[in-house]
Chains A and B, each alone.
Chain A
Amino acid sequence: MKKGVKAREKYLDIMSYILLCIGLCIWVFPYLWMIFTSLKIPAEIYARAFPTTLTLGNYVSISTELSLYGFNFYKGLLNSLLVAGVCTASVVLFSLITGYALSRLKFRGRKSIYSFVLLQLFFPGVIFIIPQFLIVIYLGLMNTYFGMMVTFLMGAFGVFLYAQFFRTVPQDLIDAARIDGCSESGVLRRIMVPLSKPVTATVALFTFMSVWNELLWPLLVCKEPGKMVLSVMLAAFTKGGYGADLGVTMAGTTILTLPVIIIFIVFRKYFLGGIVMTTGLK
């Protein structure tokens, strides 16, 4: 009887591996296809599945192809980096201090403000887009870097995570520091920041990722080629039908996609942790 169960267990194990392997191949296929196509020479793109000749030509010509239409591809890359980078720094900074204040500093109205933060987590973003767009127009921020960043400079998510984390810091630690003559900003700098490194990593990674991937907002706000972010640039280029061949388009897609995938793989620990934390939220 036991032997039968063991055999069946093994059988199921092997089946699981097989199914997962097949699944993995299917799931990763789009990336592989994208990378292969970007390395193909024009003649082979529709002809064969696997390229016989690999070429980096598409990566070179994507810059020239796009510049013929007024798009500066590598500038777009820099723009994405700039916008995502600044937003990340901003979110981390302000979420940290706000989360700290809300969880550890006693002042009036603290509870109400915290409720306000939680409230913000509830509402779907769809309601806000149009008025935010109008605000950006009226403040003269259309087609500016600041305009693209403005709705991502801070976020309730980060505040919440930091607040939750700082709650767990033992009060004795802070009291000891204060007795030793540490100023408030010192407490922050020397204790809170170093302690919260994991949270910082999570918030930074998630923020960078979501800003880099964002399409709708920068699409609305900035159509000037010099300041466009990469996602908008690729979208505008392919939708405008400028007749670049597929290899070039895929080269551009690879450059847009690969960085975040690599970041994800390298820092997966923090992403996995962050996902778990968000489920705690719900």
Chain B
Amino acid sequence: MKNRYRMLAFGIPVLLILSILSSALVIGREKPAELVFWTAPNKFQNRYNKEIVDTWNRENPDIKIKWTPIPQGESSEEVIFAAIASGTAPNLLTNVFSGFAETLAKDKVLIPLDTLPGFEELIKERDMVDIIEYYRSPDGHIYVIPIYTNAMLWRYNKELLDELGLDKPPRTYDELLSLADKVVVPHKRWLVLRPYASGWWERWFDFMTIYYAAGGKHFLKDGKAAFNNDAGITAAKFWQTLYKNGYAPPGIVKARFETGNALCHEMGPWLIPDTAKYFPGFEYVLSPPPVPDGYPENSPIYTFSDSKGIVLLANTPEEMIPKAWKFVKERFSLANDVKWFEITGMPPSRGDLLANPAFANVLSKQPEIREFARGVPYALPPPMNPYVIETQKIFTDVCWEPLVYGRKTVEQAIKDGEIAINEFLASQG
């Protein structure tokens, strides 16, 4: 027993000293010998990326590209943070959404792409002059070029629509909710298959989609919360009604939509090949998200854009930057965009999808994609704010969850969310 105390008395100061010394140790990383390119882990994207990387490596044997798909933990952003921390970050990275690019840019991790030669021409050629403005940082630079824009639409089970005697999907909240009596079987069949999920990114697919459709323009603006308005409250009320009445599941549902367990749910274009593969023959109808009653008939309906882009990291050695940039520009060529569209089914972030004949082939092969292509100009990405992840987490905890579980009124929840987010953003300076 005495020995133990002696050990402690002697050991702890030694350990403390050792730790202080060792904490000063930061070993430098070596520069990479080739360009490291990380992409989203998705089977179709992998097929595409493999093709373009192989082509590049054939044509540019002097600077090869080492390509790896990154896995996700809860979200790929965490993987990137760890990689940056340990000096194993890539040079080129896709699957970066607007807010995340801001986060990285704030820490000076990214190269401003608009400072590289040929940027303006690239944007014009790709017909994204308007689209790119969504991705301009507060400091005026562009750090990320969106590859694709997935306009979130809602899809309806055609069989159920037919049963209900509808030839087209309901347009407004009232129209949709009025179907509940005929559709909902408690715990077996839902009106809207959107289980409540606590991940911060889930808010894109429930609140933000409906909020943008209801006419909301910004979630965050100028470093403050911007959703405490009519559109925000109406959107939130819609969801609260769904959860309160059991029209939407309160938790994980394992069975997929295609098994007929709901009337509708939100859908991105990546599900088109997925449904075709696992549930061939399943029929569905696409439509923009429901809008508040009283929404003008001929107004365009906006929606959320699940959009990711490519960034170039500042850890790239100077002499390799021109080559890396060349790769980026080539990737956005018309031919590659068409190939992307064909293989992944996700609309490239271009304004000319419906007009440009090069895309006609792809669009005709799968009529569902037309709807998504149509939505591209009306799809709003997440806010260009470095704290998107934190603010969405706060929104989930303070506003969304209590609202879903009926513990707060919508007005209270939205107001609390606004206050909490503003407090947080203010404290970040």
Is chain B found bound to chain A in the same assembly?
A: yes
The distance in angstroms between the C-alpha atoms of A190 and B409, with both chains bound, is: 76
Inter-chain contacts of A111 with B (CB < 8 A): 3
Which of B46, B73, B259 is close to A236, meaning CB atoms less than 8 Å apart? B73
The distance in angstroms between the C-alpha atoms of A219 and B7, with both chains bound, is: 34
Say yes or no: A140 contacts B42, CB within 8 Å. no
**Given A111-B3, A112-B6, A138-B25, residue A243 in contact with residue B274 (CB < 8 A):** yes
The digit string for B31-73, where 1 denotes a CB below 8 A from any CB of A, is 0000000000111001000000000000000000000111111
Instruction: In the complex, identify which listed stretch (B84-92, B131-139, B320-328) lies at the interface while the others stay far away.
Output: B84-92
Say yes or no: A115 contacts B7, CB within 8 Å. yes
Say yes or no: B46 contacts A69, CB within 8 Å. yes
Q: Within residues 218 to 259 of chain A, which ones have a CB less than 8 A from any CB in chain B?
A: 219-220, 223-226, 228, 233, 236, 239-240, 242-243, 245-246
The distance in angstroms between the C-alpha atoms of A246 and B255, with both chains bound, is: 10
Which of A140, A233, A239 is close to B74, meaning CB atoms less than 8 Å apart? A239
**Given A68-B46, A223-B82, residue A115 in contact with residue B3 (CB < 8 A):** yes
Say yes or no: A142 contacts B7, CB within 8 Å. no
A71 within 8 A of B: yes
**Given A46-B259, A143-B88, residue A223 in contact with residue B68 (CB < 8 A):** no
Say yes or no: B41 contacts A118, CB within 8 Å. no
Say yes or no: B7 contacts A116, CB within 8 Å. yes
Inter-chain contacts of B74 with A (CB < 8 A): 239
Which of A69, A131, A137, A236 is close to B43, meaning CB atoms less than 8 Å apart? A69
**Given A69-B42, A225-B68, residue A239 in contact with residue B73 (CB < 8 A):** yes
Q: How far is the CB of A44 from chain B (nearest CB, A)?
A: 13
Say yes or no: B29 contacts A140, CB within 8 Å. yes
Residue in B3, B87, B254, B259 with the greatest tally of chain A CB atoms within 10 Å: B3
The distance in angstroms between the C-alpha atoms of A140 and B79, with both chains bound, is: 16
* Number of cross-chain contacts by CB at 8 Å: 88
Which of A116, A118, A143 is close to B86, meaning CB atoms less than 8 Å apart? A143
Which of B22, B85, B256 is close to A137, meaning CB atoms less than 8 Å apart? B85
A70 within 8 A of B: yes
The distance in angstroms between the C-alpha atoms of A143 and B86, with both chains bound, is: 9
**Given A112-B3, A223-B79, residue A140 in contact with residue B69 (CB < 8 A):** no
Which of B3, B11, B71, B255 is close to A225, meaning CB atoms less than 8 Å apart? B71
Say yes or no: A142 contacts B254, CB within 8 Å. no
- The number of chain A residues touching the other chain, given as a range, is 35 or more
Say yes or no: B7 contacts A112, CB within 8 Å. yes
Closest B residue, CB atoms, query A219: B73
The digit string for B79-113, where 1 denotes a CB below 8 A from any CB of A, is 10011011110000000000000000000000000
Say yes or no: A115 contacts B26, CB within 8 Å. no
Q: Within residues 72 to 121 of chain A, which ones have a CB less than 8 A from any CB in chain B?
A: 111-112, 114-116, 118-119
The distance in angstroms between the C-alpha atoms of A115 and B4, with both chains bound, is: 5
Say yes or no: B73 contacts A223, CB within 8 Å. yes
Inter-chain contacts of B68 with A (CB < 8 A): 70, 224-226
B27 within 8 A of A: yes
Say yes or no: A119 contacts B254, CB within 8 Å. no
The distance in angstroms between the C-alpha atoms of A138 and B46, with both chains bound, is: 32
Say yes or no: A70 contacts B87, CB within 8 Å. no
Q: How far is the CB of A238 from chain B (nearest CB, A)?
A: 11
Closest A residue, CB atoms, query B277: A243
Inter-chain contacts of A240 with B (CB < 8 A): 41, 71-72
Q: How far is the CB of B230 from chain A (nearest CB, A)?
A: 33
Q: How far is the CB of A237 from chain B (nearest CB, A)?
A: 8
Say yes or no: B86 contacts A142, CB within 8 Å. yes
The distance in angstroms between the C-alpha atoms of A109 and B239, with both chains bound, is: 68
A130 within 8 A of B: no
**Given A138-B27, A142-B86, A246-B254, residue A239 in contact with residue B4 (CB < 8 A):** no
A139 within 8 A of B: yes
Say yes or no: A68 contacts B43, CB within 8 Å. yes
Q: How far is the CB of B20 from chain A (nearest CB, A)?
A: 12
Closest B residue, CB atoms, query A245: B278
**Given A69-B41, A70-B46, residue A116 in contact with residue B11 (CB < 8 A):** yes
The distance in angstroms between the C-alpha atoms of A20 and B105, with both chains bound, is: 62
Residue in A115, A139, A245 with the greatest tally of chain B CB atoms within 10 Å: A115
The digit string for B262-283, where 1 denotes a CB below 8 A from any CB of A, is 0000000000001000100000
Q: How far is the CB of B419 from chain A (nearest CB, A)?
A: 31
Inter-chain contacts of B25 with A (CB < 8 A): 138
Say yes or no: B278 contacts A70, CB within 8 Å. no
Inter-chain contacts of A137 with B (CB < 8 A): 82, 85-86
Say yes or no: B27 contacts A140, CB within 8 Å. yes
Say yes or no: A138 contacts B26, CB within 8 Å. yes
B8 within 8 A of A: yes
Inter-chain contacts of B83 with A (CB < 8 A): 142-143, 223
Q: How far is the CB of A133 from chain B (nearest CB, A)?
A: 9
Inter-chain contacts of A119 with B (CB < 8 A): 4, 7-8
Inter-chain contacts of A246 with B (CB < 8 A): 254
The distance in angstroms between the C-alpha atoms of A71 and B42, with both chains bound, is: 10
Say yes or no: B7 contacts A225, CB within 8 Å. no
What are 9 A-B contacts defined by CB distance under 8 Å? A70-B41, A138-B25, A140-B29, A140-B87, A223-B73, A223-B82, A233-B71, A236-B72, A242-B41
New A-B contacts (11) at CB < 8 Å, excluding given A70-B71, A243-B278: A70-B46, A111-B3, A114-B3, A115-B6, A115-B7, A116-B11, A142-B86, A224-B71, A225-B69, A236-B71, A242-B41
